[in-house]
């Protein structure tokens, strides 16, 4: 039985196709004309030929193309969300509310890095980003630059440098001063 609507893209048009599987066996099924996904269970050859004697081959390219476009679209949407979040986040880091929380953390920790206990606090790190803007003080910790970078990028120096460069570009683009 052919579904009324494709479960992948909500398309409604399909074409009966011949699909050759990896093991060489042949299946006859309806392929969504929009995204290339299957819209039916396998149909016996006898029944398939009754529907259409000249059954075209399964269009694997349609599936691949649709999936690639969908992946690109999702990546673009994610990039937009990240840009919006990043802009809001850096604006928050310039706010009076953040300045007061940052000051409270530095005082609570006696201005001593909680990572190495050898340097003064230079950054206040979000242990979680779940409540940014409304975070509890226990979700924040004071770190020196080196420890803060290690928390975000581990021991991988190249990732650390790239992260600092990317972060600096974002900050400069927004005209923010990182505290």
HEC assignment per residue over 118-177: CCECCEEEECCCCCCCCCCHHHEEEECHHHHHHHHHCCCHHHHHHHHHHHHHHHHHHCCC
CA gap 98, 68 in Å, rounded: 41
pLDDT(29) > 70: yes
pLDDT(27) > 70: yes
Question: Mean pLDDT, to the nearest integer, of 126-155?
Answer: 89
Q: Write out the H or E segment, with its range, that includes residue 110.
A: none
Domain ranges of the chain: 14-70, 94-174
pLDDT value at residue 21: 92
pLDDT tens-digit readout, 4-15: 888 888 888 999
pLDDT(64) > 70: yes
The rounded mean pLDDT for the chain is 85
156 confidence band (pLDDT: 50, 70, 90): low
pLDDT(164) > 80: no
8 A C-beta contact, residue 122 and residue 148: yes
pLDDT value at residue 177: 45
47 confidence band (pLDDT: 50, 70, 90): confident
48 confidence band (pLDDT: 50, 70, 90): confident
DSSP designation for 31 = E
DSSP designation for 15 = E
Q: Write out the H or E segment, with its range, that includes residue 23.
A: none
DSSP designation for 86 = H
Q: How many CB atoms lie within 10 A of CB 163?
A: 14
């Amino acid at each position: 039985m052919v579904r009324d609507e494709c479960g992948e893209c909500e398309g409604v048009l399909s074409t009966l196709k011949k699909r050759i599987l990896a093991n060489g066996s042949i299946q006859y099924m309806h392929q969504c004309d929009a995204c290339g996904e299957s819209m039916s269970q396998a149909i016996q050859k006898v029944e398939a030929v009754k529907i259409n004697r000249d059954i075209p081959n399964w269009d694997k390219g349609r599936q691949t193309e649709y999936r690639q476009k969908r992946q690109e679209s999702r990546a673009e949407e994610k990039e937009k969300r990240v840009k919006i979040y990043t802009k809001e986040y850096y604006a928050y880091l310039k706010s009076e509310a953040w300045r007061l929380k940052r000051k409270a953390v530095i005082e609570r920790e006696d201005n001593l890095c909680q990572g190495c206990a050898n340097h003064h606090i230079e950054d206040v790190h979000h242990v979680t980003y779940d409540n940014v803007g409304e975070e509890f003080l226990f979700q924040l910790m004071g770190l020196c630059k080196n420890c803060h970078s290690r928390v975000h990028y581990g021991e991988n120096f190249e990732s650390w440098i790239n992260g600092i460069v990317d972060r600096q570009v974002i900050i400069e683009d927004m005209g923010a001063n990182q505290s």
